């Protein structure tokens, strides 16, 4: 009987060794408190966003969960209040696939909340189709939605300096390309969706870079982050034939949402990283990106094109 039990024990021990040494990643060690500060986390109802919001609440911040789904967001807010002992956690409706919803959220927030100290642009998706305003769903939510949200909240961030903006990017940016002739693909095939996802993550990295250039001297800093390969609901729109065979792999060999949140948390609270504003962080460390992800000319043009697409120049 003993040899039979020994085999699974060895397998479990080996898995623990692999996870904590090769999968988990570095942890944010900062003990910074955030009492009196306000944090917005987009997509704070599930996955990395929820774990990031939980950490912010444990540090004493007032946390706004900016989410599309009211039911899951209110449940998440309840969980976070219970786990953190912080009652200043609330839901505000935000649909990043709708310009009208983004503007409505910002008006509600600015009318009711006097502070904004940390904006965490966490939400993201892979999905077919178009946004309410006719943009490719992936590019529209992952880049354009957060671009507009940040634009509308920037003055409040400037009033509450030192303040920070954290943009959830991905190592997928390495495969991305910004094709200004085709920023709005149909997004109907999964191959096209995966390509557009990589493009949107490159846009996140370039956005943080150009934003940092424009914010020099304001004491508002921004950071693009890679959460690692995390088991979240990002693939919730994948076809079932793809989800079923992937599930065991995802469950065993991907980071948990809490581990995936560590670099977002680090860039939100770590002291003395202001000199790295606009840079890309992975595993709680600044990391060099490929040349096409640090092209200032492309970053500037993407900013200007984004303004035009969103009607910000009118």
**Catalytic residue set:** 197
Sheet holding 220-226, edge to edge: 89-93, 62-67, 38-42, 118-121, 163-168, 220-226, 280-282, 285-287
User: In 3D, which of 139, 145, 150 has the Cα closest to residue 212?
Assistant: 150
If you ran DSSP here, which 8-state letter would residue 141 be given? I
The structure tokens listed for 1 are 């009987």
**Distance between the two ends of the chain, CA-based, in angstroms?**
76
- State how far the Cα of 97 lies from the Cα of 87, in Å rounded to an integer: 29
Q: Which run of H or of E encompasses 167? A: strand 163-168
Which residue has tokens 């692999």? Answer: 18
Q: Helix, strand, or coil here: 279?
A: coil
Q: What is the dihedral of CA 6, 9, 11, 13, to 10 degrees?
A: -130
Backbone angles phi, psi at 164, to 5 degrees: -140, 150
Gap between the Cα atoms of 137 and 132, Å rounded: 9
- Work out whether strand 280-282 and strand 285-287 pair parallel, antiparallel, or are unpaired: antiparallel
Cβ-based neighbours of 111, under 8 Å, separated by 6 or more: none
Task: State the CB neighbour count (10 A cutoff) for residue 153.
Answer: 19
| Phi, psi angles (nearest 5°) of residue 258 | -65, -40
| Closest C-alpha among 151, 304, 150, 279 to residue 209 | 279
């Amino acid at each position: 009987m003993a040899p039979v039990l020994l085999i699974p024990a060895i397998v479990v021990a080996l898995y623990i060794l692999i996870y904590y040494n090769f999968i988990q990643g570095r942890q944010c060690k900062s003990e910074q408190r955030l009492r009196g500060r306000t944090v917005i986390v987009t997509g704070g109802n599930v996955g990395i966003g929820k774990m990031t919001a939980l950490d912010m609440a444990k540090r004493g911040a007032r946390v706004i969960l900016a989410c599309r789904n009211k039911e899951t967001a209110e449940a998440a807010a309840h969980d976070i209040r219970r786990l953190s002992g912080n009652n200043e956690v609330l839901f505000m409706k935000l649909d990043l696939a709708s310009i009208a919803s983004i503007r409505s959220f910002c008006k509600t927030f600015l009318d009711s909340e006097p502070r904004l100290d940390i904006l965490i642009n966490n939400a993201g998706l892979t999905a077919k189709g178009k946004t309410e305003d006719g943009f490719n769903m992936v590019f529209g939510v992952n880049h354009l939605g957060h671009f507009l949200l940040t634009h509308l909240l920037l003055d409040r961030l400037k009033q509450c300096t030192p303040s920070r903006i954290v943009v959830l990017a991905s190592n997928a940016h390495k495969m991305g390309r910004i094709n200004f002739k085709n920023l709005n693909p149909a997004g109907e095939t999964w191959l096209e969706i995966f390509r557009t996802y990589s493009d949107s993550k490159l846009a996140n990295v370039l956005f943080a870079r150009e934003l940092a250039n424009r914010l020099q001297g304001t004491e508002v800093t921004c950071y693009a982050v890679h959460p690692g390969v995390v088991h979240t609901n990002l693939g919730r729109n994948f076809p079932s034939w793809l989800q079923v065979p992937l599930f065991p792999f995802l469950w065993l060999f991907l980071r948990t949402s809490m581990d995936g949140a560590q670099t977002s948390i680090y860039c939100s609270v770590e002291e003395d990283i202001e000199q790295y504003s606009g840079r890309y962080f992975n595993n709680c460390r600044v990391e060099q990106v490929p040349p096409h992800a640090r092209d200032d000319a492309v970053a500037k043009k993407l900013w200007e094109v984004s303004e035009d697409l969103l009607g910000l120049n009118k």
